[in-house]
Amino acid sequence: MDDMTGLLAQHGLSLVFTNVLLTQAGAPLPSTPTLIVAGALIAQGQLGLAQVLAVATIATLLGNAPWYFAGRRYGHRILRTVCRISLEPDSCVQRTEDVFDRWGTISLIVGKNIPGFATIAPPLAGAMRVGFMRFMGYTAISALLWAVLPLLVGWIFSTEVEWLLLQLEDLGLSALIVITAVVAVYAISRSIERSLLIRLLRTTRIDVTELGALMEQDAKPVILDVRSRIAQKLEPRRLPGAIPVDMSAPQVPLVAVPPDRDVVVYCS
């Protein structure tokens, strides 16, 4: 056990930095287990709390900064790219935009602890022209709040974490294979889920040409614009005749939709 603890203590900061950096940059890697182990090492006096928090914060800032500048450069379009690589294909861009619209830039402080928001927030902040230093300041606070919880869990359950590390050390190469397999299965399962969702969406979509043809018919389709207010600010253009829909009460505009008309919905 001393060998493994010594190895983790020697390279613990590097592991935390690399794991958090890759996760915040969008790689399909969970970083919570690494922070829990780091918390256990802090309890054992092998690592310093201030050092781990500083490393996690710096890695978060470095991982989020490129997405911020991408959002500033490409606007709302970059959100689609983020969704393609996200481990949370079911996270809704509109939900993130609604949170940002309701709470403003202050939402960046708790953003790391909101599912789906952490991935979308950096490019969205760039697209909304949030000041860079303001973005970095809020992100730093958010990173600290986000890292504290798993570190605290590792601190409290340091004995259990030490026991688990001992079991992994006894397994040797088998443990590495098991851990790699678990991470791979997790990433693959989420990728499959995302592919199935994208395939489902494609089967229910129509392109611009098809919509144009429908709009030339006598019984024109009813077009519903369900974009968030932020999306409409970033892209103010609207399809001709589209009815804006407030997703907090989506049934209101549907009351006036004739049952024999096609309905076309478009969002972000």
SS3 string, the chain, reads: CHHHHHHHHHHHHHHHHHHHHHHHCCCCCCCHHHHHHHHHHHHCCCCCHHHHHHHHHHHHHHHHHHHHHHHHHHCCHHHHHHHHHCCCCCCCHHHHHHHHHHHHHHHHHHHHHCCCHHHHHHHHHHHCCCCHHHHHHHHHHHHHHHHHHHHHHHHHCHHHHHHHHHHHHHHCHHHHHHHHHHHHHHHHHHHHHHHHHHHHHHHCCCCHHHHHHHHCCCCCCEEEECCCHHHHHHCCCCCCCCEECCCCCCHHHHCCCCCCCCEEEECC
Check residue 9 and give its pLDDT.
66
Check residue 133 and give its pLDDT.
92
Q: Is the pLDDT of residue 264 over 80?
A: yes
Is residue 223 very low, low, confident or very high in pLDDT (cuts 50, 70, 90)? Answer: confident
User: Mean pLDDT, to the nearest integer, of 30-47?
Assistant: 86
Task: List the single range of 126-135, 139-148, 187-196, 256-265 with lowest mean pLDDT.
Answer: 187-196
Distance CA 109, CA 69 (A): 19
Greater pLDDT, 238 or 248: 238
Conformation bin of residue 91: beta by default, left when phi > 0, alpha when psi is -120 to 50: beta
Greater pLDDT, 184 or 204: 184
Counting beta carbons within 10 angstroms of the beta carbon of residue 115, is it exposed (0 to 12), middle (13 to 18) or buried (19 or more)?
Answer: exposed
To 5 degrees, how large is the angle CA 49–CA 3–CA 154? 30
Residue 32: count of CB within 10 angstroms of its CB: 15
Q: Is the pLDDT of residue 129 over 80?
A: yes
Cβ-contact 106, 74 below 8 angstroms: no
Cβ-contact 109, 142 below 8 angstroms: yes
Is residue 179 very low, low, confident or very high in pLDDT (cuts 50, 70, 90)? Answer: low
How far is the CA of 213 from the CAs of 181, 221, 224, 243, in angstroms?
50, 10, 17, 19
Check residue 202 and give its pLDDT.
58
Greater pLDDT, 251 or 158: 158
Q: Is the pLDDT of residue 203 over 60?
A: no
Check residue 4 and give its pLDDT.
46
Check residue 266 and give its pLDDT.
78
Q: Is the pLDDT of residue 27 over 80?
A: no
Is residue 87 very low, low, confident or very high in pLDDT (cuts 50, 70, 90)? Answer: very low
Return mean pLDDT, the chain: 77
pLDDT digits over 136-176, tens only? 999 999 999 999 999 999 899 888 877 776 666 656 566 56
How far is the CA of 91 from the CAs of 54, 163, 179, 247, in angstroms?
29, 35, 26, 16
Q: Is the pLDDT of residue 59 over 90?
A: yes
Check residue 51 and give its pLDDT.
92
Domain ranges in the chain are 2-202, 208-266
Rg (CA), the chain: 23
Q: Is the pLDDT of residue 56 over 90?
A: yes
Give pTM, 2 decimals. Answer: 0.64
Counting beta carbons within 10 angstroms of the beta carbon of residue 142, is it exposed (0 to 12), middle (13 to 18) or buried (19 or more)?
Answer: buried
